Amino acid sequence: MSQRRRLFLTFLTLLSVFLYLFVFSDTDNHDSWMSKLLGDQFNFSSSKSTKPPVDEIYGVISLVTRENDKSQRVLSAKNIDLGQPIDLNVYGTKRGMKWEKELQRLNEEFPVVVFSKVRYDKELESHPRGLITVQTYCPYSRKAKQLLQAYQLSPPPKIIEVDLREDAAQLKTILTRLTLRSTFPNILLRGKSIGGSDDLHALHNANALRDMFEEAGVDIQGDYM
């Protein structure tokens, strides 16, 4: 047998082994080999996402709509870092809570949530006794709630008076992180912030607010003009 023929047969043998091991063999093994060869950035095997199935804001909504004193002390635990994402189980009534189902319930019962303030701190520099702070009703929250009331939404907006809660400071920190808004009111439509009082009135004046409510499945029954 000539040397050229032996080399050709050797090549065919090696090619057959390669095809058997890495092409026609089990797909998972093939993917594993390809991952090792090409690196993680070219991993062709399916991988589970680490992103939670439900956004954290729904944990907040679930917590504040329970309306009991115990729920207002949940976020006061010393081991909770409010500046970092919080496990949904912290907000839940029990571990292993079915959050996809809870999300659906919250969107059906509370599609519009208004984080509001009753009081408004105002500094009076011209007072005879010097700089003092007085509390009055928050005009921005009041204007937003009045406009929403004119729409007569169904389901009605869920109003959360943050400054009347024990966890007011914690809620403000979390809402700032999740919605990038640190002031009140903070109006949520299906878990997404649409802004404060000025933003709400701007949407109303642009005739965009009605469409947003309707797309979110909220019925409008009032004369909002």
Q: List, as own/partner pairs, every contact residues 65-68 make where C-beta atoms lie below 8 angstroms and the sequence separation is at least 24, other chains included.
A: 65/106, 65/109, 65/110, 65/113, 65/158, 65/160, 66/93
Min mean pLDDT across 18-22, 141-145, 191-195, 201-205 is at: 18-22
What integer best gives the mean pLDDT of the chain? Answer: 82
- Same domain, yes or no, for 151 and 215? yes
Q: Which of 20-29, 52-61, 171-180, 215-224 has the highest mean pLDDT?
A: 171-180
pLDDT band of 67, cuts 50, 70, 90: confident
pTM of this structure: 0.71
Q: What is the pLDDT of residues 95-109, one digit of tens each?
A: 889 999 999 999 999
- Same domain, yes or no, for 110 and 138? yes
- Same domain, yes or no, for 8 and 114? no
How many domains is the chain built from? 2
- Same domain, yes or no, for 104 and 33? no
- Same domain, yes or no, for 212 and 124? yes
- Same domain, yes or no, for 157 and 82? yes
The predicted model gives 139-145 an average pLDDT of: 95
CATH number (domain holding residue 88): 3.40.30.10
- Same domain, yes or no, for 63 and 131? yes
Residue 96 lies in a domain: yes
Residue 194 lies in a domain: yes
| Residues 187-199: b if buried by 16+ CB within 10 A, e if exposed | bbbbbebbbbbeb
pLDDT at 3 over 70: no
Place of tokens 């709630």: 145
- Same domain, yes or no, for 176 and 85? yes
Higher pLDDT, 170 or 29: 170
- Same domain, yes or no, for 110 and 195? yes
Identify the domain containing residue 16 by its residue range: 3-42
Q: What is the pLDDT of residues 72-97, one digit of tens each?
A: 999 998 899 999 999 999 999 988 89
- Same domain, yes or no, for 24 and 125? no
pLDDT value at residue 127: 45
